[in-house]
Amino acid sequence: MRRPFPRAWKGAALSLLLIAAAPASAPVLREVAWTDPASDVALITTQRPGECLARTDALIETGRALFRSPQLLGGPAARVGLSCEACHTEGRVNVHFLLPELTDRPGMVDVTSEWASKVRGDGVANPAPIPDLVGVARKGTFGSHGERSLETFVKSVIVDEFQGHEPTPRAFEGLIAYLRALDPAACAPDGRLTLATAADEVRRALAAARVNAEAGDVETSRALRLAAQDAMARLAERLPAPAFNADRRRFEALSRELGAADVAGGFGPAWMARFDAAVARVQRRERWTYFNPEVLRAALIKSR
């Protein structure tokens, strides 16, 4: 029986934003925790491979947003901010992934880790290479056990490997649609992670939430609002304190509004106008944020 996304998760994404909004002497970037420290962390966490979507629609956008949301996985992974995207950046292999709880080698992960799951945990450290999900629609088997159904495999990853709650039918359908739409022939060039791209993640998640709300799927819409809140947290943590404290508070207030909204109208044009205005205030000073690899590098050195 499917367990619904718990309402308590509404506070989970918001708490991440509150952490990001808290003044600190070191940068609060969750990605740093699972990025190989032997690599150029500042450069890696300010760049992204190009997206490989051959097409998109409301269903694919639903899956895309949830793929980037820690709340999909649940358990310890969600608490540290891990999402599917952490290991599979834009569906590809994150060769710099190195979270001590899951691996001792970059680009690998222990899918039977006791830290991630009491169901799959076997007490043995046996990390395996992270698979590339681009082109997964053309594969005949999935995982080390040769599962023939992508749907069965993905559901097992969420529920068994990471102790997540089974998604709503629409959310799960969207996730599968997103994975099947990842096409190696459609990959865009690699690029920078910027304020504009980070803000667009929020907008895309909310657009999907609005479509689902209008279709009467309140639970899936709620999960997508959580994805949008987490996207705002990722944006806010790129704004150094204390210089950007006022901006952080604006994004925190916007996130609270999303958490309190139960209908599409709660995050409609008026909310979006306030969000766009908050982004515009930061844009003029973007070169001083952690979207700039040199600023981030200096902060990382200072925090050692």
Whole-number Å distance between alpha carbons of 194 and 200: 10
Task: Enter the tokens of residue 38.
Answer: 């032997």
pTM of the full structure: 0.90
Residue 111 three-state SS: coil
Residue 81 has pLDDT above 80, yes or no: yes
274 or 161: whose pLDDT is higher? Answer: 274
Q: State the CATH class of domain 29-186.
A: mainly alpha
pLDDT bracket for residue 113 (50, 70, 90): confident
Are 125 and 114 a contacting pair, CB within 8 Å? no
**Counting runs of H as helices and runs of E as strands, what totals does the chain give?**
13, 4
pLDDT bracket for residue 6 (50, 70, 90): very low
pLDDT bracket for residue 28 (50, 70, 90): low
Q: How much of the chain is helix, strand and coil, in % rounded to 5?
A: 55, 5, 40
pLDDT at 264: 58
pLDDT in tens, 203-244: 999 999 999 999 999 999 999 999 999 999 999 999 999 999
Average of per-residue pLDDT values in the chain: 89
Instruction: Give CA angle at 253 (251, 259), nearest 5°.
Output: 105
Find where tokens 């040199």 sit: 294
Name the segment(s) of the chain with CATH classification 1.10.760.
29-186
Are 219 and 86 a contacting pair, CB within 8 Å? no
Are 168 and 158 a contacting pair, CB within 8 Å? no
pLDDT at 26: 44
Residue 9 has pLDDT above 60, yes or no: no
pLDDT bracket for residue 140 (50, 70, 90): confident
Whole-number Å distance between alpha carbons of 10 and 236: 18
User: Which range among 94-98, 154-158, 278-282 shows the weakest confidence by mean pLDDT?
Assistant: 154-158
Q: What is the percent of the chain where pLDDT is above 90?
A: 72
Closest CA to 10 of 267, 261, 186, 269: 261
pLDDT in tens, 144-178: 677 889 999 999 999 988 888 999 999 999 999 99
